[in-house]
Amino acid sequence: KQLIKIDKWFPSTKTCSNCGSVKEIKLSERTYRCDCGLNLDRDYNAALNTKKEGIRLLASA
């Protein structure tokens, strides 16, 4: 296993894990809804984005 550190300010919560669009989301909003049709728990969406970013950084290393 490897530990990959992503940027502290990476917008994992604000980014759609399906289409990649970025939008502002209030902290009180617990569901991420995107125009592309994605409808996920905001934390799960952020986890998917964090994983994708880690894989991207690992591939570019």
Q: Does residue 44 lie in a domain region?
A: yes
Count Cα atoms within 13 angstroms, Cβ side, for 31. Answer: 6
The model's pTM is 0.90
What pLDDT is attached to residue 61? Answer: 79
Q: Does residue 14 lie in a domain region?
A: yes
Q: Does residue 4 lie in a domain region?
A: no
Q: Does residue 25 lie in a domain region?
A: yes
**φ, ψ for residue 22 (rounded to 5)?**
-115, 130
Which of the four pLDDT bands, split at 50, 70 and 90, describes residue 2? confident
Cβ–Cβ < 8 Å for 35, 21 = yes
Domain range for residue 56? Answer: 10-60
Q: Does residue 17 lie in a domain region?
A: yes
- pLDDT for 7 beyond 90: yes
What pLDDT is attached to residue 1? Answer: 85
What pLDDT is attached to residue 6? Answer: 96
Range 2-30 average pLDDT: 95
Cβ–Cβ < 8 Å for 20, 11 = no
- pLDDT for 5 beyond 90: yes
- Which ranges of 1-41 does DSSP label H, i.e. alpha helix? none
Q: Does residue 5 lie in a domain region?
A: no
How many structural domains compose the chain?
1
